[in-house]
Amino acid sequence: MSKTFAFYIFTFIFCAAAFAADDSWTFVGWADPHYEAADLTGNNPAGTPAAKGYPEATEGLNGTTDLVEKDISDRISQMAAHNPEAVIIPGDLGSYRFDADWAKAAFAPGGTYEETVQNAADIYNGQWYYRFASQMPMVLMAVGDHEVGDNNWDVGKPISHLVDEFRLSLAQAFNMDNSGSFRFDDPIGSVSSRPLGTPYENTSFAKQVRNALFISVDVFRQDSPDKKLNVITGSVTADVSGAHLNWLQNVLVAADKERTIDHVFVFAHIPVLEPVRKWASSGMMFDNRDDSDFWAALRSSSKVRAYFAGEVHTVTASKDTKSDILQIVHSGYIKADVYEDKIEFTNYRFQSKDAGYTEKYWSKNKVASFSKKAAPEIKNGSITADYSRDKASFSSSGIFELMDQKGLLVHYSFDDDSESKITNHGSMKTEFYGGVRMGSGFGEGAMGKAGTFDGKDDYITSKRGISPVTGSEPRTVSAWIKTKSSEKMTIAGWGGAKWGILGKFNFDLIDGKIGLSAEGTQTRAEGCPNLADGKWHHVAAAFPGRPAGKDKLKDLIFFADGQKYKPETSSEDVIMTNSSVNNLYVGRGARNRGPNFKGSIDEFAIWGSQLSDGKIKSLFAAAKNEKLNYNASQMEKLFDLYNKQSGSAVIKGRRWQCISGLSGAQGDLVIHNGSPALIFNQQGRGVLGL
């Protein structure tokens, strides 16, 4: 072989490899469409039958209109314009509350609830499948809570006995062809594409597309309709266990061995990583969050790139703290461009405009009106994930900016010039978690300006974002307060009432002492002095939570002006903040209830972790120091620097770096070689400002 010929062969192989690396294909995803609309006449292109109670039980109206169908079709067309090879749907096509007499009258007159669910779901699911399949080459569906009857499934309710009927109807429409054969039956290596012999054998599956494996997981575990699995959701909970989990683990092992698979994408309805932004949602979250066996299975694979979820009706992107797995919870739609060693994720926000006229249809036992039509979508944010090196790298922007799960989530400094809104400087930023002033004013603060509250009807609430940290997950709440009132008052609160748990999280001032209350239960900081003296005081509450095995009321830790206090109570009541539709309130309690705060609040902040004693005490020390006067966001930069133990951070012109060997107590601000230093732990490690 001549050198010239060998060179040509080498060049051809190199170019072919380079082309393969640069080649890409696309998939799209739409979580939570939430259109409760379907033709009930039997005259539709999907071929679904008429509703047996139509038109008598539907007020003479059909269950959809031309305008509704055009709007749905246009949304799907916007996604189809990207020429995707598949669409993934992480659940919640509509409401699907068919466990009611009105639904029985419409879909199974004189019949049973089981027949009602089967008939109604066949109509709605069948038409949804047609809508997607008529424009998309492949439709991959995951079960949402609405596809199994809608949260919650209390023991004794009819809905708890209808879960299997709901599952079967969805599977028949999306996962089985007209002959009843499963659409996605190709094995992954030697592993079945679905968990045969389990209740999820028709609703969980794996399907390879090009160089990627998609795994749809039905995470709605039910052992028995009469067995409570979750104190909030009843007989159904978000969990993958037993043979279902074994199947998932085996599929992931097979994918790791399969040379034609570069990437694995897992999708289900329920978010795992906390926190996520939420709006108008029950906010259901996965049991045990990232400590679950399900998430451990995903972490065990070297090829799992992203976990897609819905449920919460808005957008959050975050990276697992112990792996390179992304969690992408979205509204609108996502587009993913898949390369050999790179993935580009883009989020688009659907837009609407007035149609100029209104059409009426029957939906959920009432007459609904529709007057919208689709407008061009807006690019909302993006993530580029690069896997070409040993360690993955990520760049993100817009609404897809990766959230720091354990870091500063909410920070209202009150220093922004606005008549109506308070900017959130934490990582849950966006208009959903900005503060909306409801009568509160501005005054002189501990640092800059503060919010002022009259104790009657002044408060601040997040615009639409709800329950920033839920369940029994760890958190820290911090604020500067000034008041002369010794009455019980709430500094801030979120969550909602739920029998059997402490579902609210109200950070209070009780007889001048900091404390916490929920559902008629309260505790104060033991030994805390009376803070109702008209002076500024720093207060904080830290909750270790479920991961630390400290999820009780007695496990709370309080701080006032840098001093640590335990709670007065020894109560074993579990703090499990309800994630249902309840906003964050500052100056008022959860669920928009009193007692309202009378005085001033500054530097309100929430972290998604239990801050160490040293860090909480340093919030007080650094703010009080005239040369530093650092706020929560500035201190978060120092916390992040300390956690990474590398690099530097510049704040107000001063460069900070990590240091060890400091003398003093944790939380102290000391002078080291002429420069300020903050001590964050008992071993004298902290940060030094040069």
Reduced 3-state DSSP string for 68-103: HHHHHHHHHHHHHCCCCCCEEECCCCCCCCCCCHHH
Residues with Cβ within 8 Å of residue 272, at least 6 apart in sequence? 285, 286, 289, 290, 292, 294, 295, 307, 309, 327
Distance, CA of 241 to CA of 297 (rounded, Å): 11
Asked if 496 and 592 touch (Cβ cutoff 8 Å), the reply is no
With respect to residue 462, please indicate whether it lies within any of the assigned structural domains.
yes
B/e letters for 72-110, b = 16+ CB within 10 Å, e = fewer, are: beebbebbbeeebebbbbbbbbbebbbbeebbbbbbbee
For residue 540, what pLDDT is reported? 99
**Tokens describing residue 534:** 């008209």
Residues 198, 58 share a domain = yes
With respect to residue 10, please indicate whether it lies within any of the assigned structural domains.
no
**Tokens describing residue 269:** 């309805």
With respect to residue 487, please indicate whether it lies within any of the assigned structural domains.
yes
Residues with Cβ within 8 Å of residue 7, at least 6 apart in sequence? none
Residues 164, 236 share a domain = yes
Mean pLDDT, rounded, of the chain = 95
Q: What is the edge-to-edge ordering of all strands in the sheet holding 583-586?
A: 421-422, 435-438, 459-466, 583-586, 489-495, 504-510, 513-518, 521-524
Q: What is the pLDDT of residues 630-646, one digit of tens each?
A: 999 999 999 999 999 99
Q: What is the pLDDT of residues 246-267, one digit of tens each?
A: 999 999 999 999 999 999 999 9
CATH number, domain with residue 94: 3.60.21
Domain boundary (400, 422, 445) is at: 400
Q: What is the pLDDT of residues 316-364, one digit of tens each?
A: 999 999 999 999 999 999 999 999 999 999 999 999 999 999 999 999 9
For residue 17, what pLDDT is reported? 40
Identity of the residue numbered 89: I
Query: Is residue 388 over pLDDT 70?
Result: yes
Residues 360, 437 share a domain = no
Query: Is residue 393 over pLDDT 90?
Result: yes
Residues 527, 636 share a domain = no
DSSP per-residue letters across 212-227: EEEEE---EE-S-TTS
For residue 4, what pLDDT is reported? 44
Asked if 505 and 474 touch (Cβ cutoff 8 Å), the reply is no
With respect to residue 450, please indicate whether it lies within any of the assigned structural domains.
yes
Residues 373, 430 share a domain = no
Long-range CB contacts (within 8 A, 24+) of 354-363: 355/67, 357/67, 359/65, 359/66, 359/67, 359/68, 360/61, 360/65, 361/37, 361/61, 361/62, 361/63, 361/64, 361/65, 361/68, 362/40, 362/58, 362/59, 362/61, 362/62, 362/63, 363/36, 363/37, 363/63
Q: Which residues pair with 442 in a beta bridge?
A: 451
Total domains in the fold of the chain: 3
For residue 464, what pLDDT is reported? 80
Give the mean pLDDT of 655-674: 98
Residues with Cβ within 8 Å of residue 485, at least 6 apart in sequence? 455, 532, 598, 599
Residues 668, 601 share a domain = no
Query: Is residue 7 over pLDDT 70?
Result: no
With respect to residue 195, please indicate whether it lies within any of the assigned structural domains.
yes
Give the mean pLDDT of 233-243: 98
Asked if 456 and 440 touch (Cβ cutoff 8 Å), the reply is no
With respect to residue 201, please indicate whether it lies within any of the assigned structural domains.
yes
Residues 43, 60 share a domain = yes
- 494 by DSSP, 3-state: which? strand
Residues 631, 602 share a domain = no
Long-range CB contacts (within 8 A, 24+) of 560-565: 560/514, 560/525, 560/528, 560/529, 560/531, 561/537, 561/620, 562/538, 562/617, 562/620, 562/621, 562/667, 564/613, 564/617, 565/514, 565/525, 565/526, 565/527, 565/528
Residues 515, 426 share a domain = yes
Query: Is residue 8 over pLDDT 80?
Result: no
Place of tokens 């969990």: 239
Helix then strand then coil, in percent of the chain rounded to 5, is 20, 35, 45
With respect to residue 494, please indicate whether it lies within any of the assigned structural domains.
yes
Place of tokens 């599956």: 205
CATH number, domain with residue 564: 2.60.120.200
For residue 511, what pLDDT is reported? 96
pTM for this prediction: 0.95
Residues with Cβ within 8 Å of residue 15, at least 6 apart in sequence? none
Backbone angles phi, psi at 563, to 5 degrees: -105, 140
* CB-count burial class (<10 Å; 0-12, 13-18, 19+) for 238: buried
Distances (CA, A) of 352 to 220, 355, 360, 370, 506: 33, 9, 18, 12, 38
Residues 440, 342 share a domain = no
* CB-count burial class (<10 Å; 0-12, 13-18, 19+) for 481: buried
Distance, CA of 492 to CA of 593 (rounded, Å): 11
Give the mean pLDDT of 536-561: 98
For residue 582, what pLDDT is reported? 75
Residues 328, 220 share a domain = yes
For residue 2, what pLDDT is reported? 45
Distance, CA of 397 to CA of 44 (rounded, Å): 42
Cα separation of the two ends of the chain:
66
CB-CB neighbours of 419 under 10 Å: 6
Q: Give which of 588, 599, 667 is closest to 445, Cα–Cα.
A: 599
For residue 6, what pLDDT is reported? 43
Query: Is residue 59 over pLDDT 90?
Result: yes
For residue 580, what pLDDT is reported? 79
Q: Give which of 614, 526, 510 is closest to 565, Cα–Cα.
A: 526
Range of lowest pLDDT (41-50, 186-195, 423-432, 635-644): 423-432
Residues 313, 213 share a domain = yes
Domain boundary (382, 400, 418) is at: 400
For residue 430, what pLDDT is reported? 82
Work out the pLDDT band at 21, boundaries 50, 70, 90: low
Q: What is the pLDDT of residues 81-114, one digit of tens each?
A: 999 999 999 999 998 989 999 999 999 999 999 9
Domain boundary (611, 632, 652) is at: 611
Give the mean pLDDT of 369-379: 98
Percent of the chain with pLDDT over 90: 90
With respect to residue 335, please indicate whether it lies within any of the assigned structural domains.
yes
The range of the structural domain enclosing residue 584 comes to 408-611
Distances (CA, A) of 684 to 577, 655, 668, 677: 35, 19, 10, 10
B/e letters for 536-555, b = 16+ CB within 10 Å, e = fewer, are: bbbbbbbbbbbbeebbbbeb
DSSP H helical ranges for 354-442: none
- 160 by DSSP, 3-state: which? helix
Asked if 494 and 468 touch (Cβ cutoff 8 Å), the reply is yes
Q: What is the pLDDT of residues 502-518, one digit of tens each?
A: 999 999 999 999 999 99
